[in-house]
Chain A
């Protein structure tokens, strides 16, 4: 099988996620049913999304494999490819190469308490994981599920439908926060690290998964460590510039590990052995 060939997919739905309209979620479905059957993924994996003439780039999958009708990618409008994507309409054709990367270690997470801490745009694969764990077939495999999710302001919180659904459930502890609120906002106001400190999730028999912008990660990790999570049970999903996604093109390495192939999910214990070049 040629790993460079994108599979054709059609855009079936476009959701404008943020009030500045800079982030949209593209729901896409396979053109060929055979491709669909072969595309098996887990939350935390990514794929190379491409538009012919514009190129390709890696995006974490925001959808959960428990919702098999389509794949979802949340895309921030920032460069040539993402601008082209934002200009597309439902029915347009894109290409997908994947799934790539290791994804979240589902087997290790089973039977544990799960604490997910996300900020801004970095929340997409945690959203996938949350929907995966909340699925009827999987929910019993995990103990307490806590989600702490923050954005700069309410209009920048993604996946509002999901947040509303999760908020109504009793089997998930959801803590939303914004840096600055508005008249309608009734939730927490404060940065993710301080809300994490306030919520103080129990670290016993628990994994902490942290995803977000560098500043959030930098100030959240000490809080998580202070709560007693050992380095092996603090997981991060990293981003790097990538081309092939196959561990060959040479740009996404941190030391001898490739973020595309060995990651993007690493434990803090693994990262502590690598040079700090990310």
Chain B
């Protein structure tokens, strides 16, 4: 299961998804993909390129533009034993299908007293930065993570993308795999063999002793950038990439905080009511005595995502904002 690394080569973030999906589809004929344009066209972002060619249109199903019915199709197929991957294109469209996701998929097993199992993966592209404006740019993981029964997975590297994709598809629960739109072409080392990155296990993306930066998805990159720049000033940040926001690996966070005593949480989603609030609350519940400063938070302002590049670049948190927050926590 753990890759040896011998066959590692460079793949893009999106290519890593595609490879993980293909490899699971090869080993399990119960896995199929369904959604708008995922068949012949290979997905609007190319995430499904070649899937219909390799597996046929039976296993790469083009559907009508019907988000509720797409998710429902996945639920119904999963509850009778298939392992569907349904694509919702933009994370914003999760809201269009929210009854099926939150009231049906997330709760089915529980409501049915454990008799049902729902191996359903919902794939969607989140995040801002492409001037896609307010309805095609959101980061809604806090809304999804708030619903018991869903697993919310947000990879930040090609390596994790492939391993987490495999884990989502092999999991017996509804998982939401959020692909960040601004990372499609990011390259990184990915082993050729099939492997899992376990859901609910964070990784230390950069070790450090002075301040902990907790992040996930694309903000991990910005946090690493900030950490490098701060290192020049002699501040060593430990960057934790949560990888999945639900289940949340708070243990890895707390361990780091016990070492550094200072922590900020960084996400691209709106700061108000975001996951940073939950993580900050858990840190102070679990490690209050270890803290030398209040938990800092970096997130988007309380506003829809703006269209104009001039506005959007102010909206999305970046390394500079993260550095400011780190400095603030050191000074306090």
Q: Do A and B bind each other?
A: no
A residues adjacent to B (C-beta < 8 A): none
